[in-house]
Amino acid sequence: MKKNVDLSKPRFGRRFALLGLLFAAVFLLSFVLGRYSVSLDTTLRILWARLAALCTFGRAILPQTWTDTEAAVVLNIRLPRILCAILVGAALSAAGASYQGMFRNPMVSPDLMGASTGAGFGAALAILLGAGYWGITLTAFCFGLAAVALAYLVSRFSRLNATLALVLAGVMISSLFSACTSFVKLVADTQDQLPAITYWLMGSLSSVKAGDTVFAAAAILLGLIPLVLLRWRINLLTVSEAEARSLGLRSGRLRLAVILAATLVTSASVSVSGMIGWVGLVIPHFCRMLFGYDYRRLIPASILMGGAFLLLVDDLARIVTSSEIPLGILTSFVGAPVFLWLILRGGADRER
């Protein structure tokens, strides 16, 4: 198996270029959508002025041709939310693609190991105990990591096949934390706490601030970078254990590295956005249809397409109704029919 990425093929190069243009178009479009109108030209000037000031440590000050309100809308409200949507979408789709390769199962999603349900229970528990916004975020993040760690430890003591043991342990831990979340909802105050828990579990980016984006960026990039660097090795996880051993691959260490990286990005995503389904399941299938099964192309494509997809869904959530629709609802409305279509047409089984 060749180690270098063959992006020189015209078909893949053109597809990456088109995907990059689509990503850029959705990114710019997201700044001009919203209840307060800010033109694209004004948005670009505001962003350029802020970028110039950051790069020159405040020495380059461009003439202000926009209002303070426009600057606040672009920099304090829309920019953090847009960046967070990109990070969460990229993280979930990359984690989903990695898990699907590691478990050799196209039906696997990032919440297989219990990260999402663990984070959901952590957030519900924090709301029940009256924690603030940052308390909810950090508790969700820690419980997401703890759920996967617990599933991995359970699988290590099993005598079953390592992959099967991980799947079964993940299902068991997910079920356990789902039951715990249901109990928290049962004892929560029905006037204030229960609605807050329910809304958080449906997923939303409406409360995202600059601090959330910084937290998400640090954790998600810390997990995405290893996945990108190990993407050619993930191809080896798609073969059987016997074939991996014959190639001299220590699949146990590689599997652990992928689990750690995917868990980190999933837990960080859920902690700032709530539980958003279907992104990590559907987007990798689309990427396989366009870029094939080679993870050297599939991981970068999943990052780009996942970021653009969730950003577009978040735009719809902001403008479709006067009150925002939770992202989990919209991704289900989009993801379920698309996945049904993929099943009916045979999925992405053709090798590109």
Give CA–CA dist 310/306, Å, rounded: 6
Q: Categorize the per-residue pLDDT at 85 as very low, low, confident or very high, splitting at 50, 70 and 90.
A: very high
Q: Which string of DSSP letters, residue by residue, matches 120-185?
A: HHHHHHHHHTT--HHHHHHHHHHHHHHHHHHHHHHHHT--S-HHHHHHHHHHHHHHHHHHHHHHHH
Within-domain flag for 42: no
Extract the tokens encoding 192: 């204030």
150 located within any domain? yes
Position 30 in a domain:
no
Q: Which residue has the higher pLDDT, 228 or 248?
A: 228
**Which range is least confidently modeled, 149-153, 228-232, 234-238, 341-345?**
341-345
Please report, rounded to a whole number, the percentage of residues in the chain having pLDDT higher than 70: 91
> Residue 248: enclosing H or E segment and its boundaries?
none
pLDDT band for position 74 (cuts 50, 70, 90): very high
Residue 245 binned pLDDT confidence (cut-offs 50, 70, 90): low
**What pLDDT is recorded for position 149?**
93
Average per-residue pLDDT in the chain? 86
pLDDT digits (tens, 9 = 90+) for 46-61: 999 888 888 877 676 7
Are 308 and 290 within 8 A, CB to CB? no
Distance between CA 254 and CA 252 in Å, rounded?
A: 6
Say yes or no to pLDDT of 9 above 70. no
pLDDT of 351 strictly over 50 = no
d(CA 166, CA 103): 9
Full-model pTM? 0.88
In a domain, 49, yes or no: no
Place 270 in a pLDDT band, splitting at 50, 70 and 90. very high
Q: What is the CATH number of the domain that holds 97?
A: 1.10.3470.10
pLDDT score at 186: 94
Sequence-distant (≥ 6) Cβ neighbours of residue 86 within 8 angstroms: 27, 307, 308, 310, 311
Is the pLDDT at 201 greater than 70? The verdict is yes
Looking at the predicted structure, is the pLDDT value of residue 31 above 60?
yes
Residue-wise pLDDT tens digits, 293-306? 889 999 999 999 99
What's CA 122's distance to the chain center, in Å?
18
Domain that holds residue 271: 80-344
What burial class does residue 178 get, using C-beta atoms within 10 Å of its C-beta: 0-12 exposed, 13-18 middle, 19+ buried?
middle
Question: Does the residue 9 lie in any domain?
Answer: no
pLDDT at 5: 45
Cα distance between residue 352 and residue 155, in whole Å: 35
Nearest to 222 by CA among 261, 253, 280: 261
* C-beta neighbour count of 211 within 10 angstroms: 13
For the chain, counts of helices (H) and of strands (E): 15, 0
Residue 102: the pLDDT is 86
Which residue has tokens 């397409």?
A: 305
Does residue 118 or residue 11 have the better pLDDT? Answer: 118
Contact 94, 306 (CB under 8 A): yes
Q: What is the arithmetic mean of pLDDT over 262-279?
A: 92
Would you say 174 and 111 are in contact if contact means Cβ atoms under 8 Å apart?
yes
Query: What gap in Å lies between CA 352 and CA 92, rounded to an integer?
Result: 23
Q: Is residue 277 part of a domain?
A: yes
Task: List Cα–Cα distances, 31 to 1, 35, 91, 143, 313, in angstroms.
Answer: 43, 11, 22, 33, 14
Q: Token pair for residue 96?
A: 């989903």
Indicate whether 144 belongs to any domain. Answer: yes
Per the structure, the count of domains in the chain is 1
Is position 17 within any domain? no
